[in-house]
Structure 1
Amino acid sequence: MRVLILALCVSVAFGLRGVKKLEERALKLALDEKTTFDEMWYSQSLDHFDIAGSPRWNQRYWKNLDHYVPGGPAFIMIGGEGEASPGWLNYGFWSKLAADQGAAMFLLEHRYYGKSAPVEDMSDINMKFLSSRQGLEDLATFITAMSQEHNITRPWVSFGGSYPGSLSAWLRMKYPHLLAAAVSSSGPLHAKMDFYEYLGVVRDATSDCIDVFTAAIQELEVMLQDESNWDMISEKFALCNPLDGYNTMDVKSFMEFLIDNLAGIVQYNGRFPISIDDVCGIMNADVEPIEAFANLNAAILEMNGETCLEHEFSSFLTQLTDTSFDGVGVGWRQWIWQTCTEFGWYQTTNQPEAQVFGTLLDLDFFKDWCKMAFPEYTWEDEKFANEMTNTNTEYGGFIPWVENVVFVHGSVDPWHAMGVLEDLNEAAPSIYIEGTSHCADMYNNEAGDPQGLLDAREKIKEYIITWIN
C-alpha cells in the first residue's frame, strides 16, 4: 500500500495513500515550520560510482550550531522519501541530546526529494541515479566535507526514522570510520516484495474489532461484483466520482484506501485525534459492519478536512508519471522507483494464516505500479526478485554485521516486522517498546507518554554518550 514511509519519519517507509495524508498531518503537528535555519547547498557528484568522473549538482541541507561547543560531536539527521523539514533542528529527542552534549546539528535532504534535484527531470532514464547506495555516498562525502569546514574532530552520530532509519544503520555499517554511533528508529532492513506482515501487525493491534473489519470487507467484496450496488457504495463511502466496478484497478484502489483508514491510524497511533481505541469504538458500534466501515471512512475524511474520497487509480497514476520536480506527485514517483528497484515492501492482503482484509490487494496490483510508472524498463518477476536479493546482499538483511547502532521499534508499528528486534551483539542492541507506534522515540517527551517510551529514550541517550566517548 502507498506508505511513503515519511520524510524523517513522518514522511513515508514507507504506499498507503491514506497513511501519507496522516503522515503529513503528523509532521505539521510536530514541527514548527517557521524555522530560522537558512537552507544551504552542498556540491555532490551525480554518480559516485563513475570512476571516470561525474557531473555535479547542489544538495540542500541545514545546520544548527547554536549548541555546538568546539571540540564537541556532530549529529546528522538523515532525510528520507519526502521534503526534509528543518524544524527538526530544534525539535525532538536528538535536539535535546545535542544541547546536552554540545553537538553541531546537520540535516541533509535525500537526493531526488524536496529541492534536492540532481537531474533536470524524472524521466525514466534519469531515475537510475536514485538509490539508497547513492544516498549513502552523499552522506559520507557530506560528513567529510562538514568535518573539514567546521573543524569537527569529535565523533559523528547519525539519526533517522523509517527509511532514514535504515540508512542510519547502513551508514554506520559501511562507513564506521566516519561515525561513532547511529540510531535506527523504525527502520526496515530486510527487502521483501510481498510484505504481508505489515497488515498482520495491523490485525494484531486491532484485535478488539478486527472481526468487524473482516465482516465488512467480505461483504463489500461480494457487493462490488454486482453493478446494481455501485451507486449505493459510491454514496455510502463518499466517493468523489461514481465507482466503476468494471475497472479492476479502481476497485483495488478503492479498497486500498479503506484499509488505509485503519493502517494509518495504527502506524501513527497516538499522534492523531483518532486512535486505535477510537477506531474500534466506531467499528464496534451497534450497526451493521459495512455501516461501521463507512462511518470510519467518514470520520477520517473529516479529520483530514476532506469531503470526499478520490479513489480512482488514474489520479494516483497521474502522480506516478509526473516527471517534474515541482509537480503534484513529488515524492510518489521517487519512492515507488525505490520500492521497484531496491526494497519491495508492498503491503498485500496475502496473510497466510487468515486473510482478514480480503483478497483484492495482491502483489500483481503493486507490481503494476512499476510497469505503469516506468514503461521504458522491463519488469519481469525475475528482475524484481534479483533487485531484492541484491539489496539484502548489500546490507545484510535482518542480520547486518554492525556495531554501535541501536535499533528502536514499537510493537504497534507495522514496520517493525522488517526490523531488528533482538540484540545483534553487545554493541548493536535492540529496543522494543510495547504499545508504541512508528518513530515514537524521535519526538519530545510529552505528558501521557508510556514509561516504556520514556525509558527507551533514556537508554538511547546512554548508548550514544558511551559510544561517542
Structure 2
Amino acid sequence: MSAGTSLCFDQLQDRWGETVQRTTPDPSLKKKPTSICIVGQSSWFLPYWKFDDLSGFYINKSSSITNLPKSISSNMVSKIYTGCAILAFFQCAFSHQLYPDGFGGKISRTTIPRRELALSKRDNIDPSLLYPTYNLSVPIDYFHNESRYEPHSNGTFPLRYWFDATYYKPGGPVIVLQSGETDATGRLPFLQNGLLHQLAVATNGIGVVLEHRYYGESIPTPDFSTKNLRFLTTEQALMDEVYFARNIVFPGLEDQNLTAPNVAYIGYGGSYAGAFNAFLRKLYPDTFWGTISSSGVVEAIYDYWTYFEPIRVFADQKCIKNTQLITNSMDNIVIGQENNTALIQELKTVWGLPNVTYSNDFMSVVMYGMWEWQSKNWDPAVEGTPYFDYYCGNVTSNKLLWPSLNTSTTEVQKLLTKGGYVSELSNLTIPYLNWIGWLTDYTSANFGDCSPSQDSCYSTHNLTYYAQDDSSQSWRLWPYQYCTEWGYLQNGASVPANQLPLLSRTIDLPYLSIICEASFNITTPPAVENINKHGGFNLSYPRLAYIDGEQDVWRPATPHASPFNTTAHNRTSSTSQPFILIEGAVHH
C-alpha cells in the first residue's frame, strides 16, 4: 500500500472516551482528508485522524509523536495506535482487493445508511433486542479418524450466531468475533457499538458474533458428562468456525454468495478466543483471510505460576510488599506449623472463616483480592471493577479503616509474631486488619451468609458437587478444557523459593487439580502439546495480528511473554504482522 491510502475510523473520540480539542488540518492539503492515512509499510504513525461530530474536526500528526497537539494524551496515543493497527492490518492491503480505486467516499460518513443514525441512538438498549438469534446446523464430529473422539458421531447441532449487515456493501468482508468460553450473548455489545461495530463500519463489512460449541445454547450433547464432553476440544471448535465461513447463508442476503473464500473472512477474539484466532489463521489460511488475536494465550502452560508476575511488577509496590509479607506470615503458620491445629483455628477465626475446614480453601478465600487485577480496565470508556484498587487501598492505608476490628489488634499481632514477623508489627498490623475488613465486606457482598456452612461457599473438596453433569452445569466446560488441553493452573507453590509469592503456597497443583479428578476422572496433566504444536510463543503468519496488554496477567502466555517467560522473544511489528503491546493495558 502506498503512502496516503485512506482509512476511516468514525467517532473515535467517543469510542475511546477521551476529549480532544479541535485543531486545524494541514493547510498544505488541497482538500481536507476524509480518513486516516498510513505512512509507509512498516509504520503505524497516522498523519490524520478523523473525529466526526456534526461538523467534523481533525488532529494533525506528523511523522513524530512529539508533534502531536498537546490536547492528545500519551495514553490516548497508545489507544490510537492500537485502533489503527487493527484496522490497518487488514484494510491497508484489503483495500486494493475490494476497492481498486481506493476507499474514498465509500466509507465516509455521508455514505453510511441512515439506519446508523437510529442505531446510534440505541446505545443503551439491550443488544439482544436489536439482533435476532440465528442457528447454523454444524457437525458434532469433524475428525472421524481420531480415536480420542470414539465413539464417533454423525450428528449435527445448532450453532448460535448473530450478525449485523447494516453497513455491508458488495466487496466488504465478514468479520467474525469468536465468543470463546462463555455464553455469546455477553459479546453482543461488541456488535452494537464496540470494536466489531467499528470494523464493520470502516470496511463496509458484516459483523458476526459466533458462539463456541458447548457454551450458551450451542450444545451438541444431551448432558455434560465426561463421555459427552469428548467433543469439547479446540480443534473441533475451530472447524465449527471454518464450517460457518464456508457454508453460511445470511438471512436476508440469500441472493449473495458470502461464503469463504468468495468473500474475505476476518477473525477476531480475545484471551482463549484470541489464541483460537491465531490457530485459525495458521491452520485454515484459505478460509480466513486474516485474524486478530487480542490477549491471545497461544502457549498452553500447565504450571502457570507466572500469572501473578505482571501484578507483582506493575501494581502499587507498597500493596505488593504488604501482601507478600502478610501472606508469608500466614503460610508460616498453615504450612510451617501445620500440626498446630489450635493456632491455625485462631488464624481462621480472626479472618471470620472459622468453619472453613481445609487450610488451602481458607487461604484461597483470603487471596481473593489478587484475582481482581484481571477485572481492571485500561480504557476509561469501559468500566472495569474497582475491587483491586479497593483491596490495595486497604492494605496500604496507615489508618484503621474498619474501627470494629480494633479489638482484633492483639490477636493479629500474635499471629504476625507466630508467623515470623515480630519485627514488622508496627508496619503490618493496620494493613492486616484492613485486609480482614476488606475481605469480610467483599465476601458478604458476593456470597451472603453462606448457609448452611462456610464450606458450602468456599470448599473445593465437595465431591458431591463435582458429580453433577446435566446440561445446566456449565461450570464444567472450561475446567474440562483446561484439565484436558490448556492447563493454566495459577498457583503460589511454584513461585521460586527466593521470592515471596502473592498467592499462598498452599494453592498448589494438586489442590487446583481436584476438580479434574473429581469431575472428569482425569489424573494426569493436560496434553498441552495438543495446543503448543501450532507454534506456541513463536506462532506467526501473514495477516495475523497480535495485540496484547503490558500489564495483563495472561501476558506470560501470549507472544509478548518476554520478560516473564524467557522462551518468548519480542518481534518487530509490521503491516503484514502487527505485534503491538499496549502500555498500561490489562486483559483484552
Say yes or no: TM over 0.5.
Answer: yes
Which residue of structure 2 aligns with residue 373 of structure 1? 519
2:163 is the alignment partner of 1:73: no
- Provide, for residues 375-434 of structure 1, a one-character-per-residue CA deviation record: whole Å limited to 9, x for no partner: 2x5x235xx3xx1123211x1111114121111111111101110123377422211011
Which residue of structure 2 aligns with residue 200 of structure 1? 309
- Using the TM superposition, give the Cα deviation of residue 139 of structure 1 relative to its aligned residue in structure 2, in angstroms: 0.4
Q: How does 1:1-40 map to 2 (within 5 A)?
A: 32-40=126-134
2:325–2:500 CA contact under 8 A, matched in 1:
no
When residues 116 and 236 of structure 1 are mapped into structure 2, their CA distance, relative to the original with a 3 A threshold, is farther
2:532 is the alignment partner of 1:392: yes
- Using the TM superposition, give the Cα deviation of residue 314 of structure 1 relative to its aligned residue in structure 2, in angstroms: 4.1
1:31–1:88 CA contact under 8 A, matched in 2:
no
Equivalents in 2 of 1:338, 1:156: separation in Å?
Answer: 26
| TM-score normalised to structure 1 length | 0.77
State the secondary structure of the residue aligned to 1:208.
helix
Which residue of structure 1 aligns with residue 483 of structure 2? 340
- Using the TM superposition, give the Cα deviation of residue 154 of structure 1 relative to its aligned residue in structure 2, in angstroms: 3.1
- Using the TM superposition, give the Cα deviation of residue 258 of structure 1 relative to its aligned residue in structure 2, in angstroms: 2.9
| TM-score normalised to structure 2 length | 0.62
2:266–2:290 CA contact under 8 A, matched in 1:
yes
- Using the TM superposition, give the Cα deviation of residue 233 of structure 1 relative to its aligned residue in structure 2, in angstroms: 4.6
2:356 aligned to 238, 243, 260, which one?
243
Which residue of structure 1 aligns with residue 138 of structure 2? 44
Which residue of structure 2 aligns with residue 433 of structure 1? 582
- Using the TM superposition, give the Cα deviation of residue 117 of structure 1 relative to its aligned residue in structure 2, in angstroms: 0.8
- Using the TM superposition, give the Cα deviation of residue 227 of structure 1 relative to its aligned residue in structure 2, in angstroms: 3.3
Q: How does 1:185-196 map to 2 (within 5 A)?
A: 185-196=294-305
State the secondary structure of the residue aligned to 2:554.
helix
1:132 aligned to 228, 234, 251, which one?
234
- Using the TM superposition, give the Cα deviation of residue 123 of structure 1 relative to its aligned residue in structure 2, in angstroms: 1.1
- Using the TM superposition, give the Cα deviation of residue 435 of structure 1 relative to its aligned residue in structure 2, in angstroms: 1.0
- Using the TM superposition, give the Cα deviation of residue 265 of structure 1 relative to its aligned residue in structure 2, in angstroms: 2.6
Q: RMSD value over aligned CA atoms?
A: 2.7
Equivalents in 1 of 2:183, 2:495: separation in Å?
Answer: 33
1:269–1:276 CA contact under 8 A, matched in 2:
no
2:556 is the alignment partner of 1:417: yes
- Using the TM superposition, give the Cα deviation of residue 347 of structure 1 relative to its aligned residue in structure 2, in angstroms: 0.7
2:348–2:362 CA contact under 8 A, matched in 1:
no
Which residue of structure 2 aligns with residue 463 of structure 1? none
Equivalents in 2 of 1:158, 1:236: separation in Å?
Answer: 51
Equivalents in 1 of 2:540, 2:385: separation in Å?
Answer: 40
- Provide, for residues 319-352 of structure 1, a one-character-per-residue CA deviation record: whole Å limited to 9, x for no partner: 544312224xx1x211111111111111111122
State the secondary structure of the residue aligned to 2:325.
helix
When residues 50 and 435 of structure 1 are mapped into structure 2, their CA distance, relative to the original with a 3 A threshold, is same
Which residue of structure 2 aligns with residue 25 of structure 1? none
2:376–2:388 CA contact under 8 A, matched in 1:
no
2:136–2:248 CA contact under 8 A, matched in 1:
no
Which residue of structure 2 aligns with residue 62 of structure 1? 162
- Using the TM superposition, give the Cα deviation of residue 262 of structure 1 relative to its aligned residue in structure 2, in angstroms: 1.7
2:337 is the alignment partner of 1:227: no
2:397 is the alignment partner of 1:285: yes
1:31–1:87 CA contact under 8 A, matched in 2:
no
State the secondary structure of the residue aligned to 1:355.
coil
State the secondary structure of the residue aligned to 1:119.
coil
Moved more, 32-41 or 399-408: 32-41
Which residue of structure 2 aligns with residue 141 of structure 1? 243
When residues 120 and 30 of structure 1 are mapped into structure 2, their CA distance, relative to the original with a 3 A threshold, is farther
1:217–1:290 CA contact under 8 A, matched in 2:
no
The AA in structure 1 aligned to 2:243 is: T
1:230–1:242 CA contact under 8 A, matched in 2:
no
2:369–2:388 CA contact under 8 A, matched in 1:
no
The AA in structure 2 aligned to 1:204 is: V
- Provide, for residues 123-154 of structure 1, a one-character-per-residue CA deviation record: whole Å limited to 9, x for no partner: 11111110000000000001111268552243
Moved more, 263-272 or 158-167: 263-272
1:403–1:425 CA contact under 8 A, matched in 2:
no
2:356 is the alignment partner of 1:356: no
1:165–1:184 CA contact under 8 A, matched in 2:
yes
Which residue of structure 1 aligns with residue 459 of structure 2? 312
Equivalents in 2 of 1:210, 1:409: separation in Å?
Answer: 23
State the secondary structure of the residue aligned to 1:129.
coil
The AA in structure 1 aligned to 2:393 is: G
The AA in structure 2 aligned to 1:127 is: L
2:460–2:514 CA contact under 8 A, matched in 1:
no
Runs of 4+ in structure 1 over 6 Å off: none
- Using the TM superposition, give the Cα deviation of residue 228 of structure 1 relative to its aligned residue in structure 2, in angstroms: 3.3
State the secondary structure of the residue aligned to 2:137.
strand
2:391–2:435 CA contact under 8 A, matched in 1:
no
Equivalents in 2 of 1:196, 1:307: separation in Å?
Answer: 32
2:273 aligned to 155, 158, 164, which one?
164
Equivalents in 2 of 1:371, 1:30: separation in Å?
Answer: 44
- Using the TM superposition, give the Cα deviation of residue 273 of structure 1 relative to its aligned residue in structure 2, in angstroms: 4.5
The AA in structure 1 aligned to 2:143 is: F
2:509 is the alignment partner of 1:407: no
- Using the TM superposition, give the Cα deviation of residue 307 of structure 1 relative to its aligned residue in structure 2, in angstroms: 5.7
- Provide, for residues 22-76 of structure 1, a one-character-per-residue CA deviation record: whole Å limited to 9, x for no partner: xxxxxxx999455321211111111101168721111111111222223311110
Specify which structure has the bigger relative contact order, considering alpha-carbon pairs within 8 angstroms and separated by 6 or more residues.
1
Moved more, 147-156 or 200-209: 147-156
Aligned residue pair count: 394
Equivalents in 1 of 2:487, 2:313: separation in Å?
Answer: 23
When residues 101 and 203 of structure 1 are mapped into structure 2, their CA distance, relative to the original with a 3 A threshold, is same
When residues 101 and 199 of structure 1 are mapped into structure 2, their CA distance, relative to the original with a 3 A threshold, is same
Q: 5+ unaligned residues in a row in structure 2: which ranges?
A: 1-122, 146-151, 401-428, 561-569
When residues 30 and 161 of structure 1 are mapped into structure 2, their CA distance, relative to the original with a 3 A threshold, is farther
Equivalents in 1 of 2:125, 2:397: separation in Å?
Answer: 35
2:328–2:500 CA contact under 8 A, matched in 1:
no
When residues 319 and 398 of structure 1 are mapped into structure 2, their CA distance, relative to the original with a 3 A threshold, is farther
2:550–2:584 CA contact under 8 A, matched in 1:
yes
Equivalents in 1 of 2:442, 2:361: separation in Å?
Answer: 17
The AA in structure 2 aligned to 1:423 is: R
State the secondary structure of the residue aligned to 1:48.
coil
Equivalents in 2 of 1:256, 1:33: separation in Å?
Answer: 36
When residues 305 and 337 of structure 1 are mapped into structure 2, their CA distance, relative to the original with a 3 A threshold, is closer
Which residue of structure 1 aligns with residue 182 of structure 2? 82
Which residue of structure 2 aligns with residue 151 of structure 1? 257
Equivalents in 1 of 2:125, 2:460: separation in Å?
Answer: 32
Moved more, 71-80 or 277-286: 277-286
Moved more, 173-182 or 157-166: 173-182
Which residue of structure 2 aligns with residue 274 of structure 1? 386
User: Share of identical aligned residues, percent?
Assistant: 25
1:254 aligned to 341, 362, 372, which one?
362
